[in-house]
Amino acid sequence: MNFDPRYSGRNFSSVGTRPIRPDGVDKVTGRARYGADFNMAGQLVGRILRSPHAHAVIRKIDTSKAEKLAGVKAVITAKDLPDLTDGDAAMYDILDNSMARKKALYDGHAVAAVAAIDARTARQALKLIEVDYEVLPHVTDVDEAMNHHAPLINDAIFTEGLEEKPVKPSNVTKRTQYGHGDIHQGFAEADFVIERSFKTEQTHQGYIEPHACVASVNPDGTADLWVCTQGHFVYRQHCAQLLGMEASKLRVTSSEIGGGFGGKTHVWAEPVALALSRKAGRPVKLVMTRDEVFRASGPTSATSIDVRIGARKDGTITAAEATLRYSCGPYAGMWAEIGAMTAFACYKLENVKTVGYEVLVNRPKTAAYRAPSAPMAAFAVESAVDELAKEIGMDPVDFRIKNAAQEGTRASYGPVYGPIGIGPTLEAVKSHPHMKAPLGTNQGRGMACGFWFNFGGQTCTDLNIGMDGSVSLAVGTVDVGGSRASLSLVAAEELGIDYSQVKAIVADTSSLGYNDMTDGSRGTFSSSMATISAARNAIKVLRERAAQMWDIGVDDVVWEKGHAVAKGEKHGNLGKLSLKEIAAQSGKTGGPIAGHSELVADGAGVSFATHICDIEVDPETGSTRVLRYTVVQDAGKAVHPTYVEGQYQGGAAQGIGWALNEEYIYGKDGRLQNPGFLDYRIPVCSDLPMIDTQILEIPNPNHPYGVRGVGETSIVPPLAAIANAVSNAVGVRMTHIPMSPPRILAALEAEREG
């Protein structure tokens, strides 16, 4: 059956309601099973030995003493994970990050691992492994790493994207450029120009559940992996390739996930657990400590960004330019490229240019964090936009409204926008009561806009109807933000039945066709599209069965509000048949009733948000207090509004922590100084006000219900909104995130001395 994904306006009965979350009871009563809650008979405990050096050649590893320790069943090094990547540079980086080969590239880099009968024995075994290191000079700062005299992290890296092919290796892996028009002409037309440099420090996603898995490799070459992940199909592909297995022989089951936010889209310790199990011949459970999570799993990039924006006296932006330097850890990435794409995406610009540089540093491999790279770019751009509006003498909201992108605008990164929500969010903010509320002494208000692409991708879904009329929905997108409830609402809507009749599960990799990673805000968008398609395929079967029960042609049967209805005067004597009635007779009319869908969900629909923040700053201590926070964002269609509001609030809360407190702090020895929640401080309830939300719904034309992804955009504006609020409160432009008390005091002191 051909599936039409185009939006068609309709009235909803289930979609848009707020039923109780299906996983809530299990989670609050402890029945839900997370990564570390799964156990297998005879399992061993895995532990990883990690480098204490930021940069060092591994001369020799002696594991003989550890292997002789009673209770140790396996010890592995890089030799047990040979290079089977066949020249695939990205896969080789994953392999090298899982277990260091020639060099340890950051503090925390895995160099060996053990599997033992208990945790105590495993820890003892790690102490018995002897590693001979040749310590090398290191570099952890993104700007310093670009210096010609900086220690070279990988002598095989030659910068891509330059006009001339480089002859010397570099810590800069790639240069990317976006834009259109004539920048020089645009700045020549400007009456006002603002030029600023900004820095953001590295942060972690801060998920409460650490990485955990149980791996079991069987004698026949098949294997099972139970793991907390955002994408078990991708984990299967990566782990199978790294271990030289056929992907079909590795079954991966995703656990409940205690937070991911992009940090669980990457393989970290899972190949190690599988290699240990293969060598030991027994299941191996491997759970990271919090110290390991911080030192050895992916944080964000640290950045250094230059922004220049020019405008006429009437407030029209004539030119905008940004140079963005993003750290990648010791492996190539595309983080600056994404920053360069998103930086000016909120605005209608005739002349725009962004250049991104991916920079290697001796820090952990960078990973996604909720709209990866966009918050840092927005911090720089929206700070400069605010300052330019002030220079011109315009209200910052009006200035943005005047220059906001619209339907038909050519985006700064290339495509032409369809229907978008940036204008409506700004208009909503302008009229919001928050913008009119009075401020007190040492208080400031800031606002900022944000953008995210949203993704679609490969998706597969099964919908099975039981003989009792219940519906089981099997999806392959991991539920990281309430998608099971949303997809159940979609199935109920399409079938015309009550939400309580539908139960959604996340199927393992052997039970369903391939699904892409749950990232890019694609979970509900793509799987709801596949659910609609599967439901419509099931309805076709239901109509056929009803026609058989009535002994009429299937073309004379329509589906209305959960019932088969015989149309036409000649069938006026036939009553309706409910889904439950048809299902009860399925054994007599052809067997089980099901709908299946596999598709590539295109046209995810871009997303925009505008945030408002009020903040109070103590000028004597530099401490800050967030007084009020409001999120206005376009959801396309809020399938489950409570979950949507939760996504808005969650992104804002994480952005507040990022803006004010959170950062990786490295010592001169290149070692992380704060690898735990005691010293790396994420916001707690007492740090946050109640975050107000306003959901706008500008339908996405490429989805039957108009859905857009919502989970990531909400973290993009906070850094800038808070920076603008703090700057307005203290009268000094803040250019370095996080705006911790020492940085605020230093800025005030510099202003007084200047």
C-alpha distances out from residue 260 to 367, 558, 651, Å: 11, 43, 12
**624 and 505 both lie in a single domain:** no
On whether residue 482 sits in a domain, the answer given is yes
Euclidean distance between CA atoms 115 and 341, whole angstroms = 44
The tokens 């009561």 sit on which residue?
433
The pLDDT-based confidence of 22 (bands split at 50, 70, 90) is confident
Rounded average pLDDT over 330-351: 98
Closest CA to 630 of 711, 501, 722, 567: 722
- Residues 388 and 370 occupy one common structural domain: yes
CA distance 161 to 336: 13
* Rounded distance between C-alpha atoms, residue 673 and residue 671, angstroms: 6
Q: Please write the tens of the pLDDT for every residue from 711-746.
A: 999 999 999 999 999 999 999 999 999 999 999 999
Give the chain's domain count: 2
Q: Is the peptide bond before 219 cis (omega within 30 degrees of 0)?
A: no
**In whole angstroms, what is the distance from residue 640 CA to residue 485 CA?**
8
pLDDT of 585: 98
Sorted by sequence, the CB contacts under 8 Å of residue 394 that are 6+ apart come out as 315, 402
Q: What is the CATH number of the domain that holds 622?
A: 3.30.365.10
The pLDDT, as a whole number, for residue 669 is: 98
Kindly give the pairing relationship between strand 110-116 and strand 72-76: antiparallel
What are the tokens at 373? Answer: 């790279």
Looking at the structure, tell me whether residues 400 and 353 fall in a common domain.
Answer: yes
Q: How confident is the model at residue 132 (pLDDT cuts 50, 70, 90)?
A: very high
Nearest to 207 by CA among 370, 374, 377: 370
* 3-class SS of residue 378: helix
Pairing type for strands 317-327 and 352-359 reads parallel
Q: Is residue 700 part of a domain?
A: yes
| Interacting residues of 656 by C-beta distance below 8 A, sequence separation 6+ | 626, 629, 683, 687, 688, 718, 722
Provide DSSP, 21-46: PTTHHHHHHT-S--GGG---TTPEEE
Evaluate the CA torsion angle 108, 114, 119, 125 in order and state its sign: negative
What is the predicted pLDDT for the residue at 677? 97
The answer on pLDDT for 295 being more than 90 is: yes
403 band by pLDDT with thresholds 50, 70 and 90: very high
Contacts of 3 (CB under 8 A, 6+ apart): 532, 533, 536, 597, 599
pLDDT the model gives residue 1: 60
Average pLDDT estimate for 565-573: 86
The answer to the question of residue 716 being in a domain is yes
- Residue 637 predicted with pLDDT over 90: yes
Q: How far, in Å, CA of 96 to CA of 83, rounded?
A: 9
Nearest to 23 by CA among 629, 709, 486: 486
Q: What is the mean pLDDT of residues 474-501?
A: 97
Question: Is the separation of the CB atoms in 360 and 393 below 8 Å?
Answer: no
Dist. CA 101–CA 112, nearest whole Å: 10
Q: How far is CA 20 from the centre of its chain?
A: 25
Mean pLDDT of the chain: 97
Q: What is the pLDDT of residue 457?
A: 96
Reduced to 3 states, what is the DSSP secondary structure of residue 112? strand
Query: Nearest-CA neighbor of 260 among 34, 508, 543?
Result: 34
pLDDT at 260 over 80: yes
Do 327 and 436 sit in the same domain of this protein?
Answer: yes
* pLDDT computed for residue 568 by the predictor: 85
Q: Would you tell me how many other CB atoms lie within 10 Å of the CB of residue 31?
A: 11
Q: Residue 218 — pLDDT band, cuts 50, 70, 90? A: very high
Q: Which of 541, 575, 601 is the last residue of a domain?
A: 601
Measured in whole angstroms, the distance separating CA 159 from the mean position of its chain's CA atoms is 27
Residue 129 has pLDDT above 90, yes or no: yes
Using CA atoms, how far apart are residues 80 and 243, in angstroms rounded to an integer? 9
Sign of CA dihedral 524, 529, 532, 533: negative
Please check whether residues 740 and 678 belong to one and the same domain.
yes
Q: Are the C-beta atoms of 283 and 117 separated by less than 8 Å?
A: no
- DSSP of 114-133: EEESSHHHHHHHHHH-EEEE
pTM of the full structure: 0.97
For 648, which DSSP code?
H
Give the three-class secondary structure for 545: helix
DSSP for residue 499:
G
Instruction: Name the token pair of 217.
Output: 């490799």
**Residue 233 domain-assigned (yes or no):** no
Mean pLDDT value of segment 370-396? 98
Given this model, what pLDDT does residue 657 score? Answer: 98
Angle formed at CA 753 by CA 748 and CA 754, multiple of 5 degrees? 95
Looking at the chain, how many residues does it have?
754
CA-CA distance, 151 to 498, in Å (whole number)? 63
> Positive or negative, the Cα torsion across 153, 155, 156, 161?
positive
Per-residue exposure over 170-182, b if at least 16 CB sit within 10 Å of its own CB, e if not:
bbbbbbbebbebe
Per DSSP, what are the bridge partners of residue 593? Answer: 465
pLDDT band for position 573 (cuts 50, 70, 90): confident
Residue 350 has pLDDT above 90, yes or no: yes
Any domain includes 154: no
User: Residue type for 46, please?
Assistant: G
* Beta pairing, strands 192-200 & 691-696: unpaired
Contact status, residue 52 vs residue 295, Cβ threshold 8 Å? no
The rounded distance, in Å, linking the Cα atoms of 186 and 190 is 7
Distance, CA of 454 to CA of 367 (rounded, Å): 17
Are residues 749 and 614 part of one domain?
yes
The residue with tokens 């803006």 is 659
Cβ proximity of 286 and 232 under 8 Å: no
pLDDT at site 2: 84
Strand order from edge to edge, sheet including 56-62? 103-104, 56-62, 130-135
Give the separation between CA 519 and CA 674, rounded to whole angstroms. 28
Can you give 174-203 as a three-state secondary structure string?
EEEEEEECCHHHHHHCCCEEEEEEEEECCC
* Contacts made by residues 244-248, CB under 8 angstroms, sequence distance 24+: 244/82, 244/84, 245/221
Whether residue 559 lies inside any domain: the answer is yes
User: What is the Cα–Cα distance from 44 to 135, expressed in whole angstroms?
Assistant: 33
Strand order in the sheet with 502-506: 502-506, 471-475, 457-465, 593-601
Q: How far is CA 254 from the centre of its chain?
A: 17
Q: Are residues 544 and 614 in the same domain?
A: no
Same domain, 440 and 463: no
pLDDT in tens, 661-702: 999 999 999 999 999 999 999 999 999 999 999 999 999 999
C-alpha closest to that of 282 among 44, 47, 114, 38: 44
DSSP 682-735: ---GGG---EEEEEE----TTSTT-----TTGGGSSHHHHHHHHHHHHHTS---
Same structural domain for residues 473 and 403? Answer: no
Whether 351 is in a domain gets the answer yes
> Residue 221 — pLDDT band, cuts 50, 70, 90?
very high
DSSP label of 332: -
Mean pLDDT, range 508-517, rounded to an integer: 97
pLDDT of 378 strictly over 70? yes
Domain ranges, residue 374: 311-418+427-448+603-753
Centroid of chain to Cα 634: 18
Residue with token string 């060099």? 103
For residue 330, what is the DSSP state?
B
Evaluate if residue 754 carries a pLDDT over 90. Answer: no
* Residue 437 and residue 477 share a domain: no
Choose the weakest-confidence range: 82-96, 505-519, 568-582.
Answer: 568-582
Per-residue CA distances from 625 to 432, 683, 749 (Å): 22, 11, 20
Q: Which tokens go with 23?
A: 């996983």
Last residue of a domain, one of 533, 566, 601: 601
Q: Tell me which of 601, 619, 643 is where a domain ends.
A: 601
Q: Identify whether residues 479 and 595 lie together within a single domain.
A: yes
Cα gap 379→456, rounded to integer Å: 26
Residue 21 above 90 pLDDT? no
Q: Is residue 27 part of a domain?
A: no
| pLDDT of amino acid 461 | 98
Mean pLDDT of 196-206: 98
Shared domain check, 669 and 695: yes
Mean pLDDT (whole number) for 229-257: 98
Q: What is the chain's alpha carbon radius of gyration, rounded to the nearest angstrom?
A: 27
